[in-house]
Amino acid sequence: MDNDPMIEVVKLTKRYAGHTALADISFTVGRGEIVGLLGDNGAGKSTTMRILSGFLPATSGTARIAGRDVFYDSREVRRRIGFMPENNPLHTEMRVREYLKFRARLKGLSWARSRARVDTVLAQCSLTEVSQRIIGQLSKGYRQRVGLADALVHEPELIILDEPTIGLDPHQIRSVRQLIKSLAGSHTVLISTHILSEAEMMCNRMMIMLGGRILAADTPDNLQNLMAGRGQVIAEIAAPVTELNASLAALANVETFDVSPAEGDFHRCAMTPRTGCDVRPEIFSLTRERGWALRELTRSRNSLEDIYMQVTKPKEEEEG
Amino acid sequence: MQVFFTLTRRELATYFVSLTGYVIIAAATLLVGTSFVVLLRNMGNESSPMPITEIFYLTPFFWIILLLATPVITMRLFALEKYSGTYETLMTTPVSDVQVVSAKFTAAWLFYLVMWLPMLACLYVVQHYARQSGALEPGTVGGMYLGIALVGALFLSLGCLASALTSSQMVAAMVSLTLGVGLFTLAFLPERLETGTHWQAQVLASFALFRQLHDFARGVVDTRSVVFFLSLTFFFLFLTLRAVESRRWK
């Protein structure tokens, strides 16, 4: 069973009365991967996670975790996952250690083992100094870490986190991200988020969801390369305008270009290369041959925001 | 079993870490105390052959406590967890629905029993000052507490069902109060029917809760009553279980 992928979802559909939350999605997640589910609110991220954690049944299709069906073998699956739902609900009247101990016992850990594990996750999530505080009196950052500690306490193979950094300040976001990154390799992690940079930073692979469908799924780098052909090359060169125009037009790999004056003798050239070509070495040798001064040469990569907007845009127009 | 005990302990603890538990106990104790004051006033005028426990059952105070306290005890069991979202964290751990329902019911029932303990003090006072030797007789007190435990289990199982059906504590309390009062008033229906020999009247007569409790208060344990309370309790807990499971097929 160790050869089975961690998550295997085949043609999963979830319909609520009146609308379809998930439409026929399929994906697999291998062991040790950190995968980000990306999408607007209502894209189907939370529904996917709730089905995977066994809280909701799917309307049709199958989902398997470590080779076990989430519906028919629900308790075995739940033993293997640590789930932190959206908004991180906690028993606010309990103390941090008491809560984690309770959760560990609930997840079937023996008394001695739950004690040891609670100490471990308290240290792992930097909660040791607040372990005797009442959860309801803690700041949101601490509460979020309590939720994470709860998801980790029984050493699950798969950790499912629904928007783990929502509502945190930048420092707290950073520490939560570092914590999640440190889980890579030993655990498989599925995270949902609508912040692109976050997915880019933490995940090996991203799945972009919209309206209950998966629109694109790949590594952040591949997703960028997919769009890189459209990226522009910017160069600032000190040269007479006419000569500059002529020599740029002569370059075979430059599809279109635009020259605008910058301060001093410099001109700013924005070039769109032919798909798949890198024209930067040619620009450099051109300036060296002519003896022109070159003070900037960069390729503007499409940010993930652009990719996201491009991927999700046509669909929105269809719906509108 | 570990899950059951862990859950029961937590559920029971929530009554005592918040103010709710103390408020319920204080209110019940106040009503019990008032009823004993009223009882003793009346007994000062005329003597009664009945033990004080039996008289207590016949007063409306007992039924007011029972009907009002049980919905308040049970309303948060499921409704609060659904409302705050912790239901999701609970149900995504490897616990079975049976464990959850039985643990929540057990915790509510244990709390309910604790709520009735101050009454022992009232009985002691009666025995001590009124020289009513029957007040603290082990048989009568045991019978009375058995009756309280059984009728309470029935009303708490109604409350469990109401709480499992909704995510609003208010709705849960109103539903269980309505069910409880409905069950209680069934007992008065046979008197309204013309003859007592119809089968309908006989069926309804078996629902006469206060007549059954009357026996317990005299220290008489009738197997029929015990079976009646236990089977109805299990029936409503079974419905609660179905309501909890419904999430999987709704």
Q: State phi, psi for A286 to the nearest 5 degrees.
A: -60, -50
Stretch B144-164: mean pLDDT, rounded? 93
User: H or E element: which one contains A190?
Assistant: strand A188-193
pLDDT at A319: 44
b/e map of B199-216 (b: 16 or more CB within 10 Å)? Answer: eebeebbebbbeebbbbb
Residue of chain A nearest B18, judged by CA positions: A93
pLDDT, tens digit, 9 for 90 and up, residues B108-123: 999 999 999 988 888 8
Count the neighbouring beta carbons within 10 Å of the beta carbon of residue A204. 16
Average pLDDT of span A208-224: 80
Chain B interface includes A85 (CB < 8 A): yes
pLDDT of residue A317: 47
Tell me the three state secondary structure of residue B118.
helix
For CA atoms A49, A55, A58, A62, the dihedral sign is positive
- Strand A158-162 and strand A68-69: the pairing is unpaired
Nearest alpha carbon to residue A168 among A150, A148, A182, A183: A148
Q: Pick from B170, B175, B150: which is nearest to B239 by CA? A: B175
What pLDDT sits at residue A39? 82
Number of Cβ within a 10 Å radius of residue B248 = 14
**CB-CB under 8 Å, B2 with A102:** no
Residue A234 scores a pLDDT above 60: yes
pLDDT tens per residue across span A157-208:
999 999 888 778 888 888 888 888 888 778 899 999 877 777 878 888 888 8
Residues of B in CB contact (< 8 Å) with A are 2-3, 6-7, 10, 14, 17-18, 84-86, 88-96, 247-249
Instruction: Yes or no: say if A221 and A63 are a contact pair by the CB < 8 Å rule.
Output: no
Beta bridge partners of A84: A161
- Are A57 and A94 a contacting pair, CB within 8 Å? no
Fold of A232-300: Alpha-Beta Plaits (3.30.70)
- C-alpha closest to that of B120 among B132, B106, B135: B135
Q: Do B89 and A78 touch (CB under 8 A)?
A: no
Residue A50 touches partner B, C-beta closer than 8 Å? yes
CA distance A53 to chain B (A): 6
CB contact under 8 A, A150 and B96: no
Q: Is the pLDDT of residue A26 over 50?
A: yes
Strands A34-39 and A19-29: unpaired
Model confidence over A76-125: pLDDT tens digits? Answer: 999 999 999 988 899 999 999 999 999 999 999 999 999 999 999 999 88
Could you tell me if A55 lies within 8 Å of chain B, comparing CB atoms? yes
Q: Could you tell me how many CB contacts below 8 A there are between chain A and chain B?
A: 64
Q: Give all strands of the β-sheet with A7-16 in edge-to-edge order.
A: A19-29, A7-16, A60-65, A68-69
What backbone phi and psi angles, to 5 degrees, belong to A28? -130, 150
**Residue B90 confidence (pLDDT) above 80:** yes
Cβ–Cβ contact A265 with B under 8 A: no
Residue of B9, B11, B20, B89 to mutate, interface with A, max A Cβ within 10 Å: B89
Nearest CA in chain B to A55: B92
Backbone angles phi, psi at B199, to 5 degrees: -65, -30
- Convert the pLDDT of each residue in B34-64 to its tens digit: 888 887 787 776 666 667 777 777 778 888 8
Tell if the CB–CB gap between A89 and B3 is shorter than 8 Å: no
Question: Could you tell me which CATH number the domain at A7-226 has?
Answer: 3.40.50.300
Sheet holding A254-261, edge to edge: A254-261, A266-273, A232-238, A293-300
Its sign, for the CA torsion B123, B129, B134, B137, is positive
Place of tokens 């309801």: A136
- Residue A218 main-chain phi, psi, to 5 deg: -170, 180
pLDDT at residue B81, as a whole number: 93
Distance CA A126, CA A142 (A): 9
> What was the pLDDT predicted at A2?
60
Joined together, the tokens standing for residue B27 give 């209110």
pLDDT tens readout for residues A111-158: 999 999 999 999 988 899 999 999 999 988 889 889 999 999 999 999
Q: Quick: pLDDT tens for A250-264.
A: 887 888 888 888 888
> What's the structural domain count of chain B?
1
Of residues A1 and B143, the one with the higher pLDDT is B143
Q: Which H or E element spans position A147?
A: helix A140-152
Give ranges for CATH 3.30.70.3100 in chain A.
Answer: 232-300
Residue B129: the pLDDT is 76
Its domain, for residue B207, covers 2-249
The answer, yes or no, to whether residue B6 has pLDDT greater than 90, is: yes
Question: How many beta carbons lie within 10 A of that of residue A145, not counting itself?
Answer: 27
Buried b (16+ CB within 10 A) or exposed e, B40-57: beebeeeeeeebbbbbbb
Three-class DSSP category at A13: strand
Instruction: Among A15, A91, A144, pick the best mutation site for testing chain B contact (most B Cβ within 10 A).
Output: A91
Suggest the residue from B93, B104, B245 to mutate for an interface test with chain A (most A CBs closer than 10 A): B93
Comparing A286 with B105, which gets the higher pLDDT?
B105
Return phi, psi of residue A217, to 5°.
Answer: -145, 120
Q: How far is B149 from chain A (nearest CA, A)?
A: 28
Residue with tokens 């409704």: B79
Instruction: For residues A44-61, give the mean pLDDT.
Output: 90
Separation in Å, CA of B1 to nearest CA in chain A? 10
Nearest to A163 by CA among A312, A40, A310, A309: A40
B92–A83 CB contact, under 8 Å: yes
Please check the confidence at residue A41 and state whether its pLDDT lies above 90. Answer: no
Is the Cβ pair B92, A105 closer than 8 Å? no
Tell me what pLDDT residue A265 has. Answer: 83
Chain B contact present for A105, CB below 8 A: yes
Kindly state the DSSP code that residue A303 receives in the 8-state scheme. Answer: P
ipTM: 0.86
Interchain proximity B6–A75, CB inside 8 Å: no
